[in-house]
Amino acid sequence: MDPQNGQEQHQAPVETSVEPQPEPTGGGGGWKQIAREKIFRPLYHSKKGQLVAVLAVFGVAGSTFALLTHAAAATLSLVPTSDVSISGVHGVSGSRSLKSNLYTTVDDGTSFTSADDNATYVGSPSGQGQSYLTEGFSSSRTGTVTQVVANMRARSSSTTKGTIQVLLMDGATLVGTGPVHALAQNYANFSDTFSSISLNSLSTLRAKVIFKNGANSGNLRMTQLWLDVTYMPSVPVVAIMAPVNGSTVSGTVAISGTASDPDGMSKVEIQVDGGAWQPATGTTNWSYSWDTTSLAGGNHTIAVRATDTTGTAGYSNTSLVVSSIANAAATKLGCTGQAVAPTGTTTVAYSDPAPVNSTFYDLTQWTSTAVTGVGSNHAIDIGGTHAPAGTCVLGGVVDGSIDPTLGWQYVHDSISGFGYRVFNTGNIAIDRIRVHNVEDGFKPRECDSSQPVCPDFINTGTFAMSRAYMTGIRDDSIENDEFMAGSITDSLFDGVWTFLSEQLQGTTSTSSATIGPNEPNTITIDGDLVRLAITNGGETGAGKWFKYQGAVAHHTPVISNSIFAVDAQPRLGWSSLDLPAGTVWNGTNNYILWLGTPGGYGGPMPAGVTFLEGQAALDKWSQARNDWLTAHGYATKDESDLNPMDDPVLAPQY
């Protein structure tokens, strides 16, 4: 207690080692519970007033479960606040003799001082053989007491030979017996340590001080008494009540829960995926609004930290699945026109020949099996007779079934099927499509005629493809034969004949400007995984990464964070892999992988691009592919699975 204002002296919590320490004999609080749970593998870092534990375990939302960390030990100094029992002693305060409130005479702070040695004290009467005083202590703090140091300052009169001894009590229960200290004429300081204890309350601590006068004359005096208490503060219990663990969420999510602690709550904070802590609203009942619209789909960890008034923190975690598809649907990928949302599985081609500008196609519940190579050759065709200004396409599964034994020439000339074809004079946004076993995966077009390719280039349209997943493509994954500027980002082409095509068709004039004066002259390729494979029957090699043909201007690929892989010499020789003139490789995170026999690669090896072959190449492809599949809601694959024709064709989970 502060001698000036009568307040407790609460020292800052003791910072413990960053390594777990053995539990003290006879108890020790929070660490005991965690140390014996072998399923936990905590990583620790120390902070003032708390020890943060990072655990690879999720809390159970919607219940009172909380992930409790090991609280840092705290030290609290307590001075007497009451007389519990008095026998044969009295108090002295100046010229007054006191028979009650003796605790006020030994309340001289929490460090030894001689300031009022003979002004206020407790004394035994002259000649009294044995006497004692039991003092009580109180505190608003809660926790488990693990050590107590009893501090006394005492002396005997000049004619007295005496001793002093302290007994530590928990209420009426004896906890420990201190040593007997001989007293001399001058005041001396004594500190007795009681360790290896485990007491449930600070407010039931008692100190019984026994005075013994061996000379039966003179008196004994004690001028100071206080306790230094080490305890494990109670840890706040925090629970996430909503949403429940594992829920799929989107948009702005209301997270709520409860927190409690005997010492009272100070604050509750939220952390998303290990980021910065953000304040929640409320404490015992708290809430937080979480905006998920800018987050990637998939699992995200929400941690809650509840801190009590002593600075001790308790934690709880939950895992929530963000549906980036739902978030994208809510924004309509930026389109502002009408929304069209076909559902179910169809065996016939879907066509919308004359859509209005900025139409949004929500295909997340739509699957097409129309591309069979017999009678039907495409899945979805938008804007064939009227190319709108702006089209957005979200999702959709195209599961083609073209006979895998058919050769490339036959598929190209006789079937000419495709997954998505979108005519547009503005921007095409196409996101999260899944396409398998068709001739061409995606055909961006500018023309509004019924001809397969415009007779001229209007150079106004652009396309932006993101998070596409294509397998078993029999010709071009992206047939950009009307030379539209665009971007291909965060997409997986796992076993395709050709990645990107820009070539003149027979109906197109070679004198036309393939790239207009105000049109970007690049195509951005960022975060893409491209693996060529033999997807047609009777072939010894695949096609090309880039099918740039015709003596005209082409868009320059600008490549970042991407992987290009191949496992056999292309059908038309190694020159098929030649990169377009001026290709730009940004950064140091681009790879060319040779998945065939080590030493057999004969394709380009551009400066600044990492080349791998053999097991290192297989490991790199497998890891990158599985990382992508996991991040986009698909099942992972074994490293040896390089056959694109038997892949499952399912929509992403989120």
Which H, E and C letters describe 430-482, residue by residue?
EECCEEECCCEEEEEECCCCCCCCCCCCCCCCEEEEECCEEECEEEEEEECCC
Question: What is the pLDDT confidence band of residue 59, given thresholds at 50, 70 and 90?
Answer: very low
Mean pLDDT of all residues belonging to the chain: 86
Q: Which two tokens stand for residue 300?
A: 């995200």
Q: In whole angstroms, what is the distance from residue 482 CA to residue 537 CA? A: 29
pLDDT at 36 over 60: no
Vertex 255: Cα angle to 251 and 258 (nearest 5): 175
Q: What is the pLDDT of residue 576?
A: 95
Q: What is the pLDDT of residue 421?
A: 95
pLDDT at 47 over 50: no
What's CA 578's distance to the chain center, in Å?
42
Question: What is the pLDDT confidence band of residue 142, given thresholds at 50, 70 and 90?
Answer: confident
Q: What is the pTM of this model?
A: 0.69
Q: Which two tokens stand for residue 541?
A: 């090699």
> Quick one: three-class SS letters along 359-403?
EEEECCCEEECCCCCCCCCEEEEECCCCCCCCEEEECCEEECCCC
Q: What is the pLDDT of residue 25?
A: 32
User: Which percentage of the chain shows pLDDT scores above 90?
Assistant: 69
Helices H, strands E: what count in the chain? Answer: 4, 49
Q: In whole angstroms, what is the distance from residue 95 CA to residue 97 CA? A: 7
Q: What is the pLDDT of residue 542?
A: 95
Q: What is the pLDDT of residue 449?
A: 56
Q: What is the pLDDT of residue 434?
A: 98
Q: Can you tell me the mean pLDDT for 299-305?
A: 95
What residues pair up with 420 in beta bridges, in sequence order?
A: 380, 442
| Amino acid letter, residue 10 | H
Vertex 79: Cα angle to 77 and 82 (nearest 5): 145
Q: Can you tell me the mean pLDDT for 102-108?
A: 93
Q: Can you tell me the mean pLDDT for 213-233?
A: 88
Q: What is the pLDDT of residue 42?
A: 29
Q: What letter does residue 235 receive in the DSSP assignment?
A: P
Q: Can you tell me the mean pLDDT for 195-221?
A: 89
pLDDT at 585 over 80: yes
Q: Can you tell me the mean pLDDT for 2-21?
A: 32
